[in-house]
Amino acid sequence: MKWVQVVAALLTVMPYVTGCGEGSTAATSQTNTDNNTAAANMTVTEPSPSTPAVSSANSSTSYTLVSSSGTIISPTNNSAANNAASFGSTGTEGRLEADNVDLTPLSDAERAAIKITTPTATARIIQESILGFDSRFQVIPASYPERAVTLITYNGNTHCSGWLVSKDTLVTAGHCVHGGGSTGRWGAPTAFKVYPGFSDGYAPYGSCTPRELYSTYGWITNADSNADIGIIKLDCTVGNSTGYFSYAVTDTIDNTAVNINGYPGDKAGGGQQWGSKGIVLYATPTKIHYDNDTTGGMSGSPVWVQDSTTAWAFGIHTNGENTLAPGSNSGTRISKDVFDLITAAKALP
């Protein structure tokens, strides 16, 4: 079944929907020696220790939200048949309607540092793969939805990708914000910067920083790849300008043509947005496997399709080819649990 048909069927049976409002930084270890001086001038913020409050989380579900400051949130079951889709926004073309966005142009040192993709202590090494011929293509993120895809930097250089789902809420991979497992650590929120629509050293929509980081109980305690989900609540409302993605739960996604957009570390040091087109090869209740090409830095990218003027996401890119899933890259599927988790995070202050 084609995606447009899936969405049409979904909306036909649902009288109500929620309203409007990668990989890992360690997946590539490429260091540009020409930029070492710039990197040496960057202030490095060490990751935060895992919070003891995690031990009190409800371990019956891998999808309990846990924040970097220790807050535990059990998402409400919002994903009944009448609530399985959340509509996005195309933003405000040509106008900056966001609050608290830093519009200071990047310095030469900051542009150079972004090209250094060394791993952080928060990151777990995640393989990502070119499957045969590299079919990726550069994207100029001047319009929706590409401008709602973000570059995420840590300490000014290592990076992941992400995508906006509200004016101030960003979805990414769990391993982009926390190292995973009981020995993993949170990235320090103050060390992150988010650049929507970043391209060739320029940030036309400015940058924002996190107010809070979130991941799942399953990821931060067991590195559960089925729960490899990260949420960043921003200190700005940049999504009002860029727009943000719709997302939905679907029953049938096999053989669907999908896009993945993100910031691969092997292209301009992660300073350009690149896209990849492919097909969903197969899916499980928690994962989707596709033949889109990806490399380190694209973790957290949306797995999405275009339906008229709306961009629908139904996955989060997290992993490359491995022995358990040869011939495909993969991501976390937007299941009912993941839908509820994202929707709960959007409602947080």
Distance between CA 257 and CA 237 in Å, rounded? 31
- Of residues 241, 280, 211, 212, the one with CA closest to residue 92: 241
Q: Between vectors from CA 192 to CA 188 and to CA 193, what angle results, nearest 5°?
A: 165
Specify if 12 maps to a domain. Answer: yes
Question: CATH number, domain at 208?
Answer: 2.40.10.120
Burial state string for 260-275 with b = 16 or more CB within 10 A and e = fewer than 16: bbbbbbbbbbbbbbbb
Q: What are the residues facing 170 on neighbouring strands? A: 164, 232
Residue pointed to by tokens 């919070």 = 51
Total count of domains within the chain:
1
Decide if 339 contacts 78 (C-beta within 8 A).
yes
pLDDT value of residue 93: 65
Specify if 105 maps to a domain. Answer: yes
Specify if 14 maps to a domain. Answer: yes
Residue pointed to by tokens 């996005």 = 88
Catalytic residues: 175, 299
0.85 surpassed by pTM: no
pLDDT value of residue 3: 46
pLDDT value of residue 103: 87
pLDDT value of residue 131: 57
What 3-state DSSP class applies to 24? coil
Specify if 271 maps to a domain. Answer: yes
Specify if 72 maps to a domain. Answer: yes
pLDDT in tens, the chain (349 residues): 444 444 444 333 332 222 222 333 333 222 233 333 333 333 445 555 544 344 444 444 889 999 999 898 877 665 444 458 999 999 986 556 788 888 888 888 777 777 654 344 344 444 456 556 666 789 999 999 999 999 999 988 778 999 999 999 999 999 999 999 989 999 999 999 999 999 988 999 999 999 999 999 999 999 999 999 999 999 999 999 999 999 999 988 999 999 999 998 766 566 789 999 999 999 999 999 998 877 778 899 999 999 988 899 999 999 875 545 557 788 999 999 999 999 999 999 8
Specify if 56 maps to a domain. Answer: no
Q: Report the half-sphere exposure of 37 (CA within 13 A, side-chain side).
A: 3
pLDDT value of residue 43: 41
Specify if 55 maps to a domain. Answer: no
- Of residues 150, 185, 191, 197, the one with CA closest to residue 169: 150
- Of residues 210, 187, 185, 207, the one with CA closest to residue 197: 207
Query: Which domain, by its residues, includes 203?
Result: 3-50+61-346
